[in-house]
Amino acid sequence: MCTDCGCHPHHPDDTPHTGDPGDGYASRRLLVEAAATAANDETARHNREAFRRQRLTALNLMSSPGAGKTSILERTIRHLAGRRPVYVIEGDQQTRNDAERIERAGATAVQINTGSGCHLEAGMVARAVERLDPLPGGLLFIENVGNLVCPAMFDLGEQAKVVIISVTEGDDKPEKYPYMFRAARLCLINKTDLLPYVDFDPGRCRQLARAVNPHITCIELSARTGEGFDAWLQWLSGLA
């Protein structure tokens, strides 16, 4: 169970934990979790239908803290300026720091502070989109709370999940956090400008990611220098 928010969606290969209170307690907990997950999935379905009607491309960006989600978004927004309306939902436990960075880069942003929560949920996204009131044909980035576990397990209605890792984290992340990489359509390997200074093998990282998810695409880039950004922007254009 997640110690921050208590979320624990079960997967087919999970073994339920009975805990000290006994099987009755465990059964009740599983029922509550199943109801919460079902409610989230229903709202996510409504989100997806609304995005389709609005011709809004929605992406769920997920990473551990400090991998560079916001930095990638800042450069992406500047690249897309004048070509397509861009909107951002910023998820953090506290502060409005990242939303302010996004606004300075030129996009409209809504901040969601989750308090002790470790992920965004579909209902939060639905309410944020109402506040954004996006134009048809826009691009919506949902920057999830920094966490490589819970965000992968909650459907927000997005068109695709994107996982971002940095070369400072270690090239074994796909092996250690398989649910995240299994859920993602794209893996961005960020901070490649630091490769000469860290022990990170991009080839091994790609290999491990594809072992978990044979269909995942991997792109290496640097939010600081812009290296590799053409491939990222081309991938984005293919979603439209």
Q: What angle do CA 84, 123, 75 make, to 5 degrees?
A: 30
User: Which pair of structure tokens corresponds to residue 205?
Assistant: 């990282």
pLDDT at res. 37: 85
DSSP string, 88-141: EEEEESS-SHHHHHHHHHT-EEEEEE-TT--S--HHHHHHHHHHH-PPTT-EEE
From the list 189, 139, 180, the residue with the least C-alpha distance to 161 is: 180
Residue 9 located in a structural domain: no
* pLDDT mean by block of 10 residues, the chain; 240 residues: 49 43 66 76 98 97 97 98 95 95 97 94 98 96 96 96 97 97 98 98 98 98 98 92
- The enclosing H or E element of 188 equals strand 186-190
Q: Residue 38: exposed, middle, or buried by beta-carbon count in 10 A (0-12, 13-18, 19+)? A: exposed
Tell me which residue has tokens 């901040």: 111
Name the residue range of residue 159's domain.
23-237
pLDDT at res. 224: 97
pLDDT at res. 183: 97
pLDDT at res. 12: 38
Residue 103 located in a structural domain: yes
Residue 6 located in a structural domain: no
How many structural domains compose the chain?
1
User: Domain containing 61 — which CATH number?
Assistant: 3.40.50.300
C-alpha 181/C-alpha 148 separation (Å) is 9
Neighbours of 4 (CB within 10 A): 17
C-alpha 46/C-alpha 26 separation (Å) is 31
pLDDT at res. 25: 66
Rg, Å, the chain Cα set: 18
pLDDT at res. 240: 65
Residue 15 located in a structural domain: no
Residue 55 located in a structural domain: yes
Residue 30 located in a structural domain: yes
pLDDT in tens, 124-161: 999 999 999 999 999 999 999 999 999 999 999 999 99
Residues composing the chain: 240
